């Protein structure tokens, strides 16, 4: 660009020179014949042209020597970035401050099922279901307005959405790129589908073993104790003193042992193996803990959810169990509300207490079983939030996706 400017300047000087020369050769200014000045102008013009040409050549050479390494470095960095982006297994995006996609790599096209042409210029929320997409816009707007980072500079687990509308778990991390005239955000997206499937399979191993032991206790040892208890009761009815007292103790001991075996079996198999097993287990656990703790627990079910996945039902049961135990043991609650309702394609399970609440420094910690609850919720693509419930108490909210076949409307229950 500099070279072109200098060349233009040289041409302009030469044009001016020859224009003056023509005027001098043919014209008269103030009655004076100027042709006699011709010779000095010729010499001066030649010197000016040569000097300007020399300056152009020198400036071009200096500019080339200075900018060539920088240009090569920029080109190498751009080539390196495109090579890395092209060969990366994770999806990479560049978006502007309005959330519009400026760049995608081939892995992003493969992951979401769109072509680069379909994505460029679109809002990033196109790749996330409601409400994740809308929240993403809010994150950027809030950051630009307040400077407070919620997801930028870190990462989180949420749901992505394929072109065909199907949803899958992803981990999204966002970084900021600020140049002199450019403000972009770089996003890296990893598909967690395989990871979560393996985690579910690992957790299913001890769960299956627990179920087997529970069934053995219930169907094996439990039945034997039931038979012995019946024999002891028969012996008690026929026994006379002093055998009557011994028979009474034997019958009482067998009954207590049978009760403990059933309780142990129930703990190992908390959720019944059929669609409405979660609903039954939810009612049983609230009633059982209410009887043990003498703390009122209100269960409100606006819509019954028929869970066909035993693993999901068990994870939800354990989340309720952990939340109730925390409210009783750590929050000093005097009343607990448990509710289940449907919002669009999601089930909303809430456990709210009026206790002392969970300190802010513990809400994101691994204590009180909170990390385990978050992990369980993530395994079935759910989200769990733990927040204060007004001026006093804690609200645990688990939001999880459900299908149309899992909703049973009109079965309200309030106790």
- In this prediction, residues 134-152 reach a mean pLDDT of 76
Closest CA to 249 of 220, 229, 269, 265: 229
Q: How many other C-beta atoms are found inside a 10 Å radius of the C-beta of residue 244? A: 14
Asked if the domains at 90-191 and 274-415 fall in one CATH topology, the answer is no
Q: What CATH code would you report for 90-191?
A: 3.30.450.20
pLDDT the model gives residue 414? 44
Q: How far apart are CA 109 and CA 120, in angstroms?
A: 11
CATH architecture of 274-415: 2-Layer Sandwich (3.30)
- Across 162-216, where does the E strand assignment appear? 167-178, 183-191
Q: How far apart are CA 135 and CA 137, in angstroms?
A: 5
Tell me whether the omega of the peptide bond preceding residue 131 falls within 30 degrees of 0, making it cis.
yes
Q: Do the Cβ atoms of 300 and 342 come closer than 8 Å? A: no
Confidence of residue 311 (pLDDT cuts 50, 70, 90): confident
pLDDT the model gives residue 73? 63
CA angle 208, 339, 128 (to 5 degrees): 75
Strand-strand pairing, 32-33 and 28-29: antiparallel
The pLDDT > 90 percentage for the chain reads: 13
pLDDT the model gives residue 157? 82
Q: Which pTM value belongs to this model?
A: 0.52
Chain-centre distance for alpha carbon 255: 51
pLDDT the model gives residue 285? 86
- In this prediction, residues 238-250 reach a mean pLDDT of 72
In tens, the pLDDT along 18-65 reads 554 554 455 444 555 545 555 555 556 556 665 665 676 676 666 666
Model confidence at 66: pLDDT above 70? no
Q: Do the Cβ atoms of 157 and 192 come closer than 8 Å? A: yes
pLDDT mean across residues, the chain? 75
> What's the Rg (C-alpha) of the chain?
39
Q: How far apart are CA 405 and CA 386, in angstroms?
A: 29
Domain extent listing, the chain:
2-85, 90-191, 204-269, 274-415
Closest CA to 313 of 400, 412, 245, 248: 400
Confidence of residue 215 (pLDDT cuts 50, 70, 90): low
Model confidence at 296: pLDDT above 70? yes
- Please name the residues in contact with 232: beta carbons below 8 A apart, sequence gap of 6 or more: 247, 250, 251, 254
Model confidence at 362: pLDDT above 60? no
pLDDT the model gives residue 395? 92
In tens, the pLDDT along 312-329 reads 888 888 899 889 988 888
Q: How far apart are CA 4 and CA 337, in angstroms?
A: 78
End-to-end CA distance of the chain: 81
Phi and psi for 17 in degrees, rounded to 5?
Answer: -65, -50
Q: How far apart are CA 415 and CA 409, in angstroms?
A: 18
The encoded tokens of residue 386 equal: 């733990």
Strand-strand pairing, 167-178 and 183-191: antiparallel
Closest CA to 104 of 128, 120, 88: 120
Q: Running DSSP on this structure, what letter comes out for residue 34?
A: -
Window from 64-78, 210-224, 336-350 with minimum mean pLDDT: 64-78
Is residue 215 classed exposed, middle or buried when 0-12, 13-18 and 19+ CB atoms within 10 A define those classes? middle
pLDDT the model gives residue 2? 47
> Taken in order 214, 215, 221, 225, is the CA torsion positive or negative?
positive
């Amino acid at each position: 660009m500099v070279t072109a400017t200098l060349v233009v300047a040289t041409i302009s000087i030469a044009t001016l020179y020859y224009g003056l020369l023509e005027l001098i050769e043919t014209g008269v200014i103030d009655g004076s014949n100027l042709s006699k000045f011709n010779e000095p102008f010729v010499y001066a013009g030649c010197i000016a042209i040569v000097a300007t040409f020399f300056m152009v050549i020198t400036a071009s050479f200096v500019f080339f020597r200075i900018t060539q390494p920088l240009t090569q470095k920029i080109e190498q960095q751009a080539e390196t970035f495109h090579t890395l982006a092209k060969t990366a297994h994770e999806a990479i995006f560049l978006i502007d401050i309005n959330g519009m996609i400026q760049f995608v790599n081939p892995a992003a096209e493969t992951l979401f099922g769109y072509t680069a042409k379909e994505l460029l210029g679109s809002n990033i929320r196109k790749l996330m279901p409601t409400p994740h997409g809308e929240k993403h816009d809010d994150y950027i707007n809030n950051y630009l307005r307040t400077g407070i980072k919620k997801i930028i500079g870190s990462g989180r687990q949420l749901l992505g959405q394929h072109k065909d509308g199907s949803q899958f778990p992803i981990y999204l991390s966002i970084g900021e790129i600020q140049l002199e005239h450019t403000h972009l955000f770089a996003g890296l997206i990893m598909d967690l589908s395989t990871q979560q499937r393996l985690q579910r399979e690992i957790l299913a191993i001890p769960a299956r073993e627990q179920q087997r032991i529970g069934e053995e206790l219930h169907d094996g040892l439990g039945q034997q104790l039931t038979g012995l208890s019946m024999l002891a009761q028969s012996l008690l009815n026929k026994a006379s003193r002093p055998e009557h007292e011994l028979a009474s103790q034997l019958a009482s001991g067998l009954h207590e042992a049978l009760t403990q075996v059933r309780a142990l079996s129930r703990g190992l198999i908390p959720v019944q193996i059929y669609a409405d097993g979660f609903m039954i287990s939810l009612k049983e656990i609230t009633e059982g803990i209410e009887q043990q703790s003498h703390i009122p627990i209100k269960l409100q079910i606006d819509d019954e959810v028929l869970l066909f996945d035993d693993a999901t039902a068990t994870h939800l049961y354990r989340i309720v169990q952990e939340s109730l135990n925390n409210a009783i043991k750590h929050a000093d609650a005097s009343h607990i509300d448990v509710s289940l309702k449907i919002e669009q394609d999601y089930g909303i399970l809430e456990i709210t207490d009026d206790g002392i609440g969970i300190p802010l420094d513990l809400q994101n910690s691994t204590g009180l079983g909170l990390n385990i609850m978050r992990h369980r919720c993530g395994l079935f693509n759910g989200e769990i939030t733990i927040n204060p419930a007004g001026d006093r108490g804690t609200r645990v909210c688990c939001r999880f996706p459900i299908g149309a076949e899992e909703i049973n409307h009109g079965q309200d229950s309030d106790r």
